[in-house]
Amino acid sequence: MFYYFAYGSCMNLASLSDTLGVDVKTHVLGLSYLNDYKLKFNYPSIDFDYHYCNIAQAPNRRVEGTLFLLPDSALEPLREREEYWEGRYDEIQIQVTCDGKTYHDVLTYQAKAVADEEIFPGERYLGLLEQGLFDAQVSEQYHTEVMRHINRLHQEYKQTQVSAGPT
């Protein structure tokens, strides 16, 4: 068994369960907090002109996510989902807080191939992320903060599409 901190679309229980071949609902420890990090949309898609979630160190900031205690059999499918073997994400060990308890040596993923700028993640990913925020039962404040950030990125994305004109 290993501890895993999920953020972004990996908080979506149905999506993560499909990927791992495990009903992850039975492995949820609860809403957890990763201090001194922030959520960024700077992980470029290979196939689309979008960026997905990533975490970046940021003093006095916090990422809310889900802490899981997963079976070892879930590690390889998780690595495949995060494109670990392709060198797109690093496995890192972090410390999170869940229900007032600190957990050390928690696995999460941090993108290696990052862009300088953040870009809207696209409608499909946005849907996965929104369900994940709901499934993780993040705070209303965090939910609002994430959605405002995405909406700003969406507006910027639409403006660049309009200024680029038809192709």
- Give catalytic residue positions: 82
- Beta carbons of 153 and 129 less than 8 angstroms apart: no
Q: Whole-angstrom Cα distance, residue 163 to residue 32? A: 41
Is there a binding annotation on residue 8?
yes
Is there a binding annotation on residue 7?
yes
What DSSP state is assigned to residue 85? Answer: T
Q: Whole-angstrom Cα distance, residue 70 to residue 34? A: 18
Is there a binding annotation on residue 125?
yes
Is there a binding annotation on residue 52?
no
Is there a binding annotation on residue 127?
no
Binding residues for substrate: 4-9, 125
Binding residues: 4-9, 125
